[in-house]
Amino acid sequence: MNDLELLQGLQSRQAVAFRYLVEHYQTKVFNTVLAIVQHPEEAEDVAQEVFMEVYESIDKFRGESKVSSWVYRIATTKALEAYRKKKAQKRWGGFLSSLFGENNEAMYEPIDFVHPGVELENKERASVLFKAINQLSDNQKIAFTLHHVEGLSYQEVTEVMQVSLSSVESLMFRAKTNLKSLLKTYYTSQ
């Protein structure tokens, strides 16, 4: 099924088209979301929301970009929303427990995320890297994860993020510089 057939099928609410979309994109969406929210159950929940959003807003999609870019765009937006929400809840939870005198450090310390697709010998290092990725700005985080985790080319990243190639190059350069600086702090303190 090509993009045009898929789009027409989705816009006419064909179950076959929607099923094709989900089965074709579920791994891509889940993987993209997982790299940002860094929690498998939550990533699956957000991935479902991505497809629900695709289904509900298909009439607004005019086909000016590829279906894949559009789906990735919804996935990154939803993942960032979920990440921000979780962060705010943690902050609020931390504030509440500090008010009531509980030891919030143990409760709200994020669990180390280990991506299931990382090679065994790299798991520990990847976990350190994902922690550093979490501290990047939203755009740097999206550009970096789409390229390094999802394996999209710079050109594909420009289509998802709707920015120029030079902007993506700049985002990647700044992301790497910031990651190096964060990792330096981490390894110096070790």
Partner 1 sequence: MKKNYKIEEEIERTLQSLEGIKPAEPTPFFYTRLQARMEKKKEVKTGWHWRPAYAYAFLGVVILLNVWTIYQVSHRSSNAESGEQFANDYGLNDFSGFDTN
Taking the complex as a whole, how short is the minimal distance between the CB of residue 127 and partner 1, in angstroms?
A: 9
Tell me the closest approach of the beta carbon of residue 151 to partner 1, in angstroms. 8
Instruction: Identify whether the C-beta of residue 145 lies closer than 8 Å to the C-beta of residue 113.
Output: no
CB of 125 vs partner 1, minimal distance in Å? 4
The residue among 18 and 108 lying less far from partner 1, judged by its C-beta, is: 18
Amino acid in position 21: L
Minimum separation from the CB atom of position 132 to partner 1 (A): 8
Residue 166 beta carbon to partner 1: minimum distance, rounded to whole angstroms: 22
For partner 1, which is the closer residue by CB, 21 or 67?
21
DSSP class of 115: -
Distance in Å, CB of 159 to partner 1, minimum: 19
Q: How many residues does the chain have?
A: 190
Interacting residues with partner 1 (CB under 8 A): 19, 22-23, 26-28, 30-31, 34, 40, 43-44, 47-48, 51-52, 55, 115-119, 122, 125-126, 128-129, 148-150, 176, 179-180, 183-184, 187-188
Distance set, CA 132 to CA 91, 144, 176 (Å): 19, 12, 10
Handedness of CA 75, 161, 87, 136 (dihedral sign): positive
Distances (CA, A) of 92 to 89, 103, 108, 187: 5, 14, 10, 30
Question: Looking at beta carbons only, is 114 or 163 nearer to partner 1?
Answer: 114
Which distant-in-sequence residues (6+ apart) come within 8 Å of 159 by Cβ? 65, 66, 69
Nearer to partner 1, 85 or 180 (CB): 180
Between 106 and 111, CB nearer to partner 1: 111
Residue number, 108 or 154, with CB nearest to partner 1: 154
Helices in 100-164 by DSSP H: which ranges?
104-108, 123-133, 138-148, 154-161
